[in-house]
Amino acid sequence: MVKENTVKDFIDNREKYSNSDFYSELKDKNEKYQFMRDIVEGDENKGSLKNIPFLVKDAICVEDTTTSAGSKVLENYRPLFNATVVERLEDSGARFYGKTHMDEFGFGTFSTNCAFETPKNPHDSERVVGGSSGGAGAVVAAVDYPLISIGESTGGSITNPAAYNGVVGVTPTYGRVSRNGLVDYANSLDKIGVLAKTVYGTAKGLEIIAGEDEKDQTTSSKPVPPYSELEQKNNLKIGVPKQMSELEGLQDGVKENFENSLELMNENGFEIEYFDEPMFSAEVVLPAYYILAMAEASTNLAKFSGMRYGYEKNPEKFNDFNEYFSEVRSESFGEEAKRRILLGTYIRKAGYRDKYYVKAAKVRTKLINAFEQAFEEYDIIICPSMPNIAPKIEEAESLRPEEVYAMDSLTVGPNLAGIPQLSIPNGLSNGMPTGLQLLAPHFGEKELFNTGYSFEKLKAEHW
C-alpha cells in the first residue's frame, strides 16, 4: 500500500523528483493529488491493477490527450480514441496519469531528439535518460511509487532507457501486444512494452496488455500465460554470444558488472556458456536495422504534410501545394526526422531497392534463423543491455549520427528478430545504472520473466 505522505511529498516536490518534466501532459496538480489520494484509499489487490497509476509514451493514443509522438508536426493532435493497450489497462482498474517524453517519432537513443523538453536522468541531471522511450524509463526511476510505464521499442527503446535509469523493461515478441493506436515508426519492428521497478511489475503489465486484438491483424491468437505467477528457476542453460559480450566500445564498468553477474548465476545453478555467432555482430545488425527502419519510417512520415494530418499553415499564402508541403515539413520535422526521410527515400528508390532494402531484408531472415538455432542450444541468451552508462547530455548531442547509431549494437539484433527482451538493473558504474539484457525465443516471455525474477532475487541476496 502506498503511504499518503510519500504521495503528497511526490506531488508537492515533483520538480525535485524529476529534475525536469518527463511528462508531456499531466493533469492539474490538485486534481492529481486527489487522484493519488484515491489510490491510497483504494484496495490493495495484487491480482489486478486496481488503482495502479500508468503512464504512456507520447506515441500512444489516449483519448482527448495530446499525443505528439515528440514531434511538432503532431503538437495539436488530440485523438478521439484510446489505443488498445490504454483500454486494457483502464479495464483492469489502472488509472491513466500522464504522457511521457520521447525522441521525435522514436528516432533516437537519448531523448535528445525531442521537439519539446529534453528529460534529464534522475540519477544525474546532467545525463540523458536514454531513448526513445526516455521519459518512460526516467519516471519509473524518479518516482518512489509502483507504477506501470508503457514504452515502445523499434530497435531498443525499452531496454535502453531501462538500463540508463536502472529500472526493469520488457519488450515483447512482435505481435504479442496490439499496436492499435500507436503512432508508427516502422511497422514491421514496433512493439509496445512495459517499464516498471520490478520484474513482477513488468510481468503484470504485459499480462494485461498482451493478446489478440481484432484492430491489429498482426497480433497473435496464442493465449497469454499468467506471466506474473513468477517461479524461481536456476537450472537453465544460458548462452552468451561473444559478438555481444565482447563488443568493441563496451565500457569497463559495464563489462565488469556483466561478468560478475555471470559468475553469480554460475555459482547458483545456471549453466553459462559463451558461443560464437557472427550474425550477431554490430557490422551485420546495425546496417540491416537502420536500412529497414529508415525505409519504413520515411513511408510512414509521408502522410504528415499539413493536408490531412499534422501541423498546418494557411495554404493561400503559397503558390502551389509542393511549396506548401515543403514549408510545413521543413518547419515541423526535426533534424533527425529529416535525415531519416531523406535516407529512407533513397533506400527505397528504384535501382537502389535491391542493393539496400532487399539485401537488409535477407539479412534479417538469416538473423532470425541464427537466433532460432541458438535457442535450440540455450534456454536464454544474455548480454549487457547497453555498451555504456547514460552519457552527459552535452556529450550525447555532440556525437555524429553514426556514433549514436552504434550505441544500439546490442539491441537492434533482437528487435530485428522480433524476440522478447528483458532488461534488468545490473549494478552501478560511476554512480550510474547498468543493465543486463535477457533474450528468449519467440513467445518465450514466461521463461524470460522467470529467469529475470531468479536473477533479481540473486542480486538482492548478494548485493
Q: Is 19 in the site for ligand GLN (CB under 6 A)?
A: no
Q: How far is the CB of 238 from ligand GLN (least distance, A)?
A: 25
CB atoms within 10 A of CB 79: 18
Alpha-carbon gap, residue 150 to 206, rounded angstroms: 9
Active site residue 68: no
Residue 132 or 180: the one with the smaller Cβ distance to ligand GLN is 132
Residue 157 or 305: the one with the smaller Cβ distance to ligand GLN is 157
Q: Is 111 in the site for ligand GLN (CB under 6 A)?
A: no
Q: Which of 155, 169, 175, 205 binds ligand GLN (CB under 6 A)?
A: 155
Residue 284 or 293: the one with the smaller Cβ distance to ligand GLN is 293
Residues 177-196 close enough to bind ligand GLN by CB under 6 A: 185
Residues 293-352 close enough to bind ligand GLN by CB under 6 A: 293
Among 132, 178, 228, 245, the active-site one is 132
Active site residue 57: yes
Residue 143 or 416: the one with the smaller Cβ distance to ligand GLN is 416
Q: Is 387 in the site for ligand GLN (CB under 6 A)?
A: no
- Residues 447/379, Cβ–Cβ less than 8 Å: yes
Alpha-carbon gap, residue 182 to 444, rounded angstroms: 24
Q: How far is the CB of 455 from ligand GLN (least distance, A)?
A: 24
Q: Is 408 in the site for ligand GLN (CB under 6 A)?
A: yes
Q: How far is the CB of 17 from ligand GLN (least distance, A)?
A: 25
Residue 261 or 409: the one with the smaller Cβ distance to ligand GLN is 409
Q: Is 421 in the site for ligand GLN (CB under 6 A)?
A: no
Q: Stretches 18-26, 102-110, 273-281, 315-323: which one binds ligand GLN (CB under 6 A)? A: 102-110
Q: Stretches 5-13, 17-25, 106-114, 138-146: which one binds ligand GLN (CB under 6 A)? A: 106-114
Alpha-carbon gap, residue 251 to 270, rounded angstroms: 25
- Residues with Cβ within 8 Å of 111's Cβ and at least 6 positions away in sequence, in order, are 101, 102, 103, 118, 119, 128, 129, 130, 131, 132, 134, 135, 161
Residue 51 or 132: the one with the smaller Cβ distance to ligand GLN is 132
Q: Which residues are catalytic?
A: 57, 132, 157
Q: Given the rule CB under 6 A, which residues bind ligand GLN?
A: 106-109, 132, 153-157, 185, 293, 408
